[in-house]
Amino acid sequence: MIIYPKDMNSVKTYIRGVFYGLFGMLAAGCEDFLSEKDPSNFNRDNYFTQPSHAEAVVTAVYESLYPMHARQSWLITELRTGMLGSTSSADGGFPNFALVRTLKMSADHPSVEAIWESHYRGIGNANMAIQEIPGIQMDETAKNRLLGETHFLRAYYYYNLVRLFGPVPLITSPVDLGSADLYPSQAGPDEIYQLIVDDLKQAETSGLPFTSTSGRVTLGAVKALLADVYLTMAGYPLQLGTAYYQLARDKAKEVIDQGAYSLFDSYDAFRDPSVDNTGEYIFMVQFHETEQPSDALQYGLTPFKMGISRYASEQGFSYAERQFVESYDSDDIRARERVFFYKEYTAELDRTQPVLFNQYYTYKFFDEQAHLETARSGLNWQVIRYGDVLLDFAEASNELSGPDEDAYEAINQIRRRAGIPELSGLSQTEFREAIWRERHHELYYEGKVWFDMVRTRKAFDFVNGTFNDYVGHPFVTGETLSERELLFPIPTAEIRNNPNLIQNKGY
Amino acid sequence: MKYEVYRKVYRTMKLATFLLMAALVQASATGYSQQVTLKGKNLSVTDIFREIEQQTGYVFLYNSKDIRETGRVHVHVSDLPLNDALARCLAAFPLTYRIIDSEQTILVKRKGNTSTVPPEEPIPVSQTLVRGTVTDTTGLPLPGVAVQLKGTNQGTATDMEGRYVLENLPEGAILVFSLMGYKTVETPVNNRQEVNLVLHEDLARLDEVVVVGYGTVQKSDLTGSVGTVDEEALQERPAATIQQSMAGRIAGVNVSQNSGRPGGQAMIRIRGNSSITGTNDPLYVVDGIILNVANLANGTSPIDYLEPANIKSIEVLKDASATAIYGARGANGVILVTTKRGSRSGGMVTYDGYLTVGRLARKVDLLNAQEFLRVEEIAYQNAGKYGLGAVTPDPKAKRTDPRLFDADGNPLYDTDWQEEGFQTAFSHNHQLTFSGGDANNSYAVNLGYRNEDGILLTSSLERYSGRLVVDTRVNNWMTAGGSINYSNQHESHPQAVGTGGISPTRSVLQALPITPVRYPDGSFAKTLDYPGMEGGDHPVRLVHETSRLLEGTNMLGSAYANFKLAEGLELRTTGGVNIIQQQVKSKAGRDLQFISDNGQAAISDERYTSWQFENYLTYRTSFTGNDSFTGLLGASWQRVSRFGSSVTAEDFLDDYFGYNNMGVAANPRPPVSDASAYSMNSYFARINYSIQQKYLFTLTGRMDGSSRFGAANRYAFFPSVAAGWRLTEERFMQAIAPVADIKLRSSYGVTGNSEIPNYSMVTGLGSYSYIFNNQRITGIGVARMANPNLKWERNNQFDLGIEVGLFKGRVLLEADLYQRKSNGMLLNAPVPTTSGYASVVQNVGSMKNTGVELALHTLNINQAEFSWNTSFNISTNRNKVLHLTGGQDIVQGTNPVTGLRIIREGEPVNSFYGFIQRGTWGTAQADEAARYNRLPGDIRYEDINNDGAINEQDRVIIGNGEPDWYGSLINSISYKNFELTLDLQFMYGNDVSFDTRGTSLDRVGITNVLSDVLNAWTPENQNTSIPEIRPVSAYLDRQSSSERIYDGSFLRGRNLLLSYDLPSAWIGRIGGRQFRIYASIQNFFLISSYPGYDPEVSSSGGNFSQGLDLYSYPKARTFQLGLSFGL
């Protein structure tokens, strides 16, 4: 028997309500109920509608300038010049620099992965910007400038990639799950350089200002980078020769003739965040004392755990080999204590107490205030400075027709600041080697010298002051450069995840 | 669906009516009349009993078998005395009855039953009276126990206090005590005036009712594989979390206690891993409310907040027949938690509490001060070999600090940091419960307080919890109820989960033995007091100058209403809300190596809101010929949303402020917040059909829709089918005497997994930033590659099981064989980063788990005062990747130093991946070593393809963290009021990657290291895997390799517990119901060749992290003293 409730109507009403509710929801609301929108993030379908969106995507392209510097990944090139030793013990999060210095690094090294991954992310954002910005309704002048900056940055990222890794995938449009480019093959260096030149030429005509203190890409930066690219194209691996020395010289001359840049009077400026983006600097990675500190650079400059700095993490990433420091002219200001190098400092706990080091550490970019007081540095990292342009110009000129007056003036500007005798009356060969030596001495610890060594296939013998062929050149510590060291390995993970890639020889 | 009804009531279901009504009698016995009026058509026996009980207060006592199939009658009785009314009502039934006025009880038996003796048979009288109390093994009084004089129909039943009185006893009387679900006990009276007795639960729980999804089913009718942990088992192992409570209790359920931190950190795997990126954690359902939220801060899960003292039972659904009702989320098994409800038998107060003391169970071998200094000197002596002679300072020259060295450069201290960094941990726990009620209403209130210290300095957990539960029978056709669980938890975790940075457990291994904790002036020694040393500061300074607090509030509320729509037809409506709020506060002082230069503080908040609304109809009916049918049809809506925010500030002038006043920081960082949500909409149905209680069939189906998938793949259907055959119901089996019960069952079904990040089907943009004009500017760029074709992961599972009960249930065997195949495995698969992305969530392939589970319960000795029972279970699960899209390996993890894992066709999923280390290069092999750019004394990795380079092609599978076999052996012995439980846990064939070894061997001379380094390579000692000691600036070459893989097989004494129940007579004198004291030692021994703290370890949490040991939090050996009593 059914036990009927006293008030059947109310029960029936309730039950009917439940059923209607149940099946009403079933019939009507399912799709709506299951449609969830991401409230925190845009997606590609609902973005790129306003001018501010164009600016934002270009900002994202810039951000990829950081990872190479956040953990000093760029040091892998400098540690292949023989100029640097390393006392770093670090592993795990920090790259194991001793393996690079001893030429034992493998494709597992975290620095190559960091560089590869961040550069391609920058390229991915640039490709998206180049595809999406033209469709945004906005002021055409501003639009062109943003596109110009993007093309510059894409060219810069590819320029690093092709020099570090040789043949790399050439991705020029956004990739999705269905793209053929998801598992790309490598493109030849010639194709990659072609894109770099095309991008820079496009940037050159995009209405960028010649200089700016904002930290954004300028026309000066575009031309200076183009000069450097041409110089590299003239040398290895493309060996395009004279025509490209001519292009390099002309482009460098455009920068010089503009008169917008000049060398700093003192090397102190390299350590002074307040002159960032001015004077000698053409293009810099922008840091900020608190918002984006460049602390890894600073604690990488200290010896390993000697108690000299407010930074707790004194890393000792690298030191200068004694023979390299001794290869400077004895009058060279740059080799003096606390100019490019330092061998002693004071103890953190007692600043009257000297602390002596066993090696020469790098003082060139030592932000004193950060080490003494704040443990925070906003010092920018220079990518292109006027000194590079002068040296590029002098080298390209010399390759075309031997040293001329302009070429001497270019290198002598640098030598005068260093307090060493001006050059004159050299043969083309002597001048060439003088330039190369000067590049070592001037561009030390800037991540540029190894690129010079590879494009010239020459290495500096610190002790004799002469130049050896790159392959077979012995470091003062005994290791010998081989063909393998002309390129860096493609990161293991990338080789694993893309069966179409071929690893560089020897890794 | 009957979550709200006591499982215990179900277990004694056939006496349920009696119990309920007895409560009523207690409450108002005098309010009943002896006159009965009863009118109705088609009344069953139980209908008649219920009416008479309500009117008279008398209680019917019967065996439900006796009243089965007794038919229905029309009744018309007005104002008749009880005796007459009964005679009229029951005339048509094949029943006899006897009224016992003194106990207000009516005993009913079936006519012609051999056990039935005609009423009013004369009995020889000698002893006049015996009385006593019947309790269960925990000391709780047992009401409703039938107390019978053997060989007669004379008998009574115990009242709510478990008391009975029996009069007119004959000479040599033997009393038979019986209660459904308990073993029957016979005892001679022997002229005693008082016979008190403890009834032991019957292991043959064939009449046990098992909670399954959206309903309950008798164990005998079950077609799926379901494991149960009942209240008594839970009580044997007082614990802080449910995982600890259930560890080792169920075959096929691998509960790994992977950390010794307070609150634990357990990983539960039911029948292995099914998914790579999706979760492998089971689905938790508490009283029908699905705990939707996953991945809380610090590796906790909402289930961790449920106080185990409130848990009545735990059921684990393992096969597809059982889990398919949870469809898309059943793939990893389902854990159903049934909580305690109110009492229906008057007011009760119970208290449970314990104290524990924990100590570090095992140490690892480290260098002492002398050894440390000697190793540093050896490194210096070898520097020249590595071209570092000129740049390496003589360490002896720096041993001048008078705080650390005497005038001869000898160390003043030799600190054992494992002594200093770990402490003796004291903990206590108190649970107080009030409950009460009557036949129609019940309530329970629980208040809990738990305070646990960890063995790592400053680690602790404090929890306040409260719970209120109410159930009421509103009227004849409606019952309703609800519960609220609230807990507030404060945890101090100086050790963050999953970090290899400067953590206290790392510091314990690496701190310098030559420095003290503090100098005589009271200041902390710093690592840098000895120049040139790397690494963080010592653990004591670390835990004092940093802190990491986790504060969580969890509210779980639910309400239900049950409507009886017609005979056998019920509608149940449930709603549940789970709100979780978590706050993590952390700070670090100034000048802490690798942690903070200028002081740092951060607060992050997370709030999860999850709700669920479900409605379902259940229809039960029986047919002639003993067939029965149960049907279920329902719908469910759920939504989970999360909101998170965090603030960080840096640069404090003083360590005083920390997170308590972040405004004083000079450098506030940009605030962060994010929100996300997902929703699910599901429909489910199930049919159970039983033919003659012999052939059992279950059909289940669930359709799930989730917002996480694109429109094309949003809904999926998950069906299952199962059958059971009770052989012993067949006539040909009934002759086999010792066989009590044999059931064969088999199931096949599909379940799913949808635990992927929200919004994976659209291309997500993320935020970036860059500095322009010395200001931080926000950018927007690529973040997540879209996969619009993303589908559910589907698991096809087959199960074949057998359940055997022998010798009247004294031996119970349950064995299962299963295979499950996961198709469309969800993986956040790496893609070439040339795309601008690192990974995309994809359906990448298929894998298979095959396993066997065996559980054996035996009652070895079963006497009134002495019993011994044994539970043994053993399981194995073998995993194999069958297919990967494109066929190529997928390697997980990016850092070869800390470890890689590989997914490869034909191999177990996520095996450890790395080089094979072949010792070190010897001097005789200098030329060969040079080929690899290495020197004698360097690590020698095997060049598998012999191409002259050690690279990716030389990596192979070097181990797997999953065990071949695992299980438990639990023995319980009770003698009089004592009970002894010995609980052993074993695991065989699992590998452990002792990743701690990487950094704890390499940093020779700059941190302390494992004493294994004393066996390093020297020209005289070349047969070693430890490379020559050299300055760290030479190069470190240690990568994840076979050298750090150890066999993690172990045998653990998980628990040894001795308890004593005070005799109920003593307690009765002071008005109590039970009083129990116990003492136990947990983790009382560990036999393993593993050199780390504990081979049962996972230092990171997450999928496939089992067996990864990187600075893990060691487990304690815990001594416990506990007390529980009820009034």
Using a CB-CB cut-off of 8 Å, the residues of chain A touching B832 are: 169, 182-184, 494, 497-498, 501
Residues 286-315 of chain A whose Cβ lies under 8 A from any Cβ of chain B? 286-288, 290-292, 304-307, 310-313
- Please tell me which of B105-119, B203-217, B362-376, B1105-1119 the model is most confident about, judged by mean pLDDT: B362-376
- Please tell me which of A51-60, B210-219, B860-869 the model is most confident about, judged by mean pLDDT: A51-60
Distance from CA of A66 to the nearest CA of B (A): 9
Mean pLDDT of A345-364: 93
Which domains occur in chain A, in start order? 1-208+478-507 (1.25.40.390), 295-377 (no CATH)
Residues 62-91 of chain B whose Cβ lies under 8 A from any Cβ of chain A? none
Max Cα distance, chain A (Å) = 121
Is some CB atom of chain A closer than 8 A to the CB atom of B470? Answer: no
pLDDT of B1023 strictly over 70? yes
Using a CB-CB cut-off of 8 Å, the residues of chain B touching A93 are: 501
Within 13 Å, how many C-alpha atoms sit on residue A203's CB side? 31
Predicted confidence at residue B116, as pLDDT, reads 37
Query: What residue has token string 């108002």?
Result: B28
pLDDT of B15 strictly over 50? no
Q: How confident is the model at residue B108 (pLDDT cuts 50, 70, 90)?
A: confident
CA quadruple A284, A288, A293, A295: dihedral positive or negative? positive
Query: What residue has token string 């997500």?
Result: B764
Predicted confidence at residue A9, as pLDDT, reads 56
Predicted confidence at residue B800, as pLDDT, reads 96
Residue, of B742 and B346, whose pLDDT is higher: B742
Using a CB-CB cut-off of 8 Å, the residues of chain B touching A503 are: 951
Using a CB-CB cut-off of 8 Å, the residues of chain B touching A39 are: 675-677
Residue-averaged pLDDT of chain B? 85
Phi, psi of B342 (to 5 degrees): -70, 170
Distance from CA of A49 to the nearest CA of B (A): 13
Of A1, A99, A503, the CB nearest to B41: A1
Using a CB-CB cut-off of 8 Å, the residues of chain A touching B478 are: 5, 11
The CA angle B670-A119-A396, to the nearest 5 degrees, is 120
Verify whether the Cβ–Cβ distance A33 to B835 is below 8 Å.
Answer: no
Any idea which of A269-278, B97-106, B381-390, B709-718 has the lowest mean pLDDT? Answer: B97-106
Predicted confidence at residue B152, as pLDDT, reads 75
Q: How confident is the model at residue B112 (pLDDT cuts 50, 70, 90)?
A: low
Predicted confidence at residue B566, as pLDDT, reads 87
Predicted confidence at residue B389, as pLDDT, reads 83
pLDDT of B203 strictly over 70? no
Size of interface A-B (CB pairs under 8 A): 335
Q: How confident is the model at residue A172 (pLDDT cuts 50, 70, 90)?
A: very high
DSSP-assigned states of every residue in B126-168: -S-EEEEEEEETTS-B-TT-EEEETTSS-EEE--TTSEEEEES
Predicted confidence at residue B7, as pLDDT, reads 37
HEC secondary structure over B220-255? HHCCCCEEEECHHHHHHCCCCCHHHHHCCCCCCEEE
Residue, of B651 and B886, whose pLDDT is higher: B651
Predicted confidence at residue B177, as pLDDT, reads 85
Mean pLDDT of A456-478: 96
Is some CB atom of chain B closer than 8 A to the CB atom of A369? Answer: no
Distances from the Cα of A234 to the Cα of A162, A243, A248, B611, angstroms: 15, 8, 9, 68
- Please tell me which of B162-166, B244-248, B1049-1053 the model is most confident about, judged by mean pLDDT: B1049-1053
Structure tokens that stand for B1050 in this block: 């172990």
Predicted confidence at residue B940, as pLDDT, reads 95
pLDDT of B1126 strictly over 70? yes
Distance from CA of B63 to the nearest CA of A (A): 23
pLDDT tens for each residue of B457-503: 999 999 999 999 999 988 888 999 999 999 999 999 886 654 557 78
Predicted confidence at residue B1101, as pLDDT, reads 67
Predicted confidence at residue A1, as pLDDT, reads 34
Is some CB atom of chain A closer than 8 A to the CB atom of B475? Answer: yes
Is some CB atom of chain A closer than 8 A to the CB atom of B478? Answer: yes
pLDDT of B126 strictly over 60? no
pLDDT of B922 strictly over 50? yes
Using a CB-CB cut-off of 8 Å, the residues of chain B touching A33 are: 637, 679, 681
Of A25, A108, A376, the CB nearest to B896: A108
Predicted confidence at residue A160, as pLDDT, reads 97
Verify whether the Cβ–Cβ distance B952 to A492 is below 8 Å.
Answer: yes
Residues 545-564 of chain B whose Cβ lies under 8 A from any Cβ of chain A? 563-564
Predicted confidence at residue A425, as pLDDT, reads 94
DSSP-assigned states of every residue in A60-73: HHHHTTSHHHHTTT
Mutate to test the interface with B, among A10, A34, A345 (most CBs of B within 10 A): A34
Mean pLDDT of A101-112: 90
Predicted confidence at residue B201, as pLDDT, reads 67
Distance from CA of B51 to the nearest CA of A (A): 12
Any idea which of A283-292, B64-73, B502-511, B819-828 has the lowest mean pLDDT? Answer: B64-73
**If 0-12 CB within 10 Å is exposed, 13-18 middle and 19+ buried, where does residue B114 land?**
exposed
Residue, of B977 and B236, whose pLDDT is higher: B977
| Type of residue found at B813 | L
Structural contact between residues B586 and B650, judged by C-beta atoms closer than 8 angstroms:
no
Distance from CA of B520 to the nearest CA of A (A): 19
Predicted confidence at residue B892, as pLDDT, reads 81
Verify whether the Cβ–Cβ distance A86 to B1033 is below 8 Å.
Answer: yes
Helix (H) or strand (E) run with residue B777 in it: strand B775-784
Structural contact between residues A264 and A279, judged by C-beta atoms closer than 8 angstroms:
yes
- Please tell me which of A378-392, B43-57, B211-225, B666-680 the model is most confident about, judged by mean pLDDT: A378-392
Of A63, A125, A176, the CB nearest to B785: A176
pLDDT of B880 strictly over 90? yes
Residues 458-497 of chain A whose Cβ lies under 8 A from any Cβ of chain B? 477-478, 492-497
Structural contact between residues B243 and B316, judged by C-beta atoms closer than 8 angstroms:
no
Structure tokens that stand for A284 in this block: 């810099």
Predicted confidence at residue B8, as pLDDT, reads 35
Using a CB-CB cut-off of 8 Å, the residues of chain A touching B780 are: 42, 47, 53, 56-57, 59-60
Any idea which of A109-113, B122-126, B547-551, B1043-1047 has the lowest mean pLDDT? Answer: B122-126
Predicted confidence at residue B30, as pLDDT, reads 36
Structure tokens that stand for A71 in this block: 């953990």
Predicted confidence at residue B148, as pLDDT, reads 81
Predicted confidence at residue B316, as pLDDT, reads 92
Mean pLDDT of B981-991: 94
Verify whether the Cβ–Cβ distance A494 to B832 is below 8 Å.
Answer: yes
Interatomic CA distance for residues A256 and B928, integer angstroms: 55
Interatomic CA distance for residues B302 and B316, integer angstroms: 17
Is some CB atom of chain B closer than 8 A to the CB atom of A106? Answer: yes
Is some CB atom of chain A closer than 8 A to the CB atom of B832? Answer: yes
Distances from the Cα of B351 to the Cα of B449, B529, B1076, B1123, angstroms: 12, 53, 10, 8
Using a CB-CB cut-off of 8 Å, the residues of chain B touching A86 are: 1033
Verify whether the Cβ–Cβ distance B951 to A106 is below 8 Å.
Answer: yes
pLDDT tens for each residue of B42-80: 777 778 887 787 777 777 777 666 676 666 677 777 777
Of B387, B949, B1038, the CB nearest to A506: B949
Q: What percent of chain A has pLDDT over 90?
A: 78
HEC secondary structure over B592-632? ECCCEEEEEEEEEEEEEEEEEEEEEEEEEEEECCCEEEEEE
Q: What percent of chain B has pLDDT over 70?
A: 91
Any idea which of A100-104, A208-212, A244-248, A283-287 has the lowest mean pLDDT? Answer: A100-104
Using a CB-CB cut-off of 8 Å, the residues of chain A touching B767 are: 41
Predicted confidence at residue B737, as pLDDT, reads 55
Using a CB-CB cut-off of 8 Å, the residues of chain A touching B1034 are: 98, 102
Verify whether the Cβ–Cβ distance B768 to A116 is below 8 Å.
Answer: no
Predicted confidence at residue B138, as pLDDT, reads 66
Is some CB atom of chain B closer than 8 A to the CB atom of A123? Answer: yes
Verify whether the Cβ–Cβ distance B779 to A58 is below 8 Å.
Answer: yes
Verify whether the Cβ–Cβ distance B681 to A40 is below 8 Å.
Answer: no
pLDDT tens for each residue of B422-464: 999 999 999 999 998 887 889 999 999 999 999 999 999 999 9
Residue, of A158 and B651, whose pLDDT is higher: A158
pLDDT of B1 strictly over 70? no
Mutate to test the interface with A, among B380, B565, B771 (most CBs of A within 10 A): B771
pLDDT tens for each residue of B773-808: 999 999 999 999 989 888 888 999 999 999 998 887
Mean pLDDT of B107-134: 58
pLDDT of B769 strictly over 90? yes
Verify whether the Cβ–Cβ distance B835 to A125 is below 8 Å.
Answer: no
3-state secondary structure of A293: coil
Structure tokens that stand for A445 in this block: 């610890």
pLDDT of B641 strictly over 60? yes
Using a CB-CB cut-off of 8 Å, the residues of chain A touching B666 are: 290
Pairing of strands B845-862, B811-823: antiparallel
Mean pLDDT of B738-765: 86
Predicted confidence at residue A19, as pLDDT, reads 59
Verify whether the Cβ–Cβ distance A41 to B650 is below 8 Å.
Answer: no
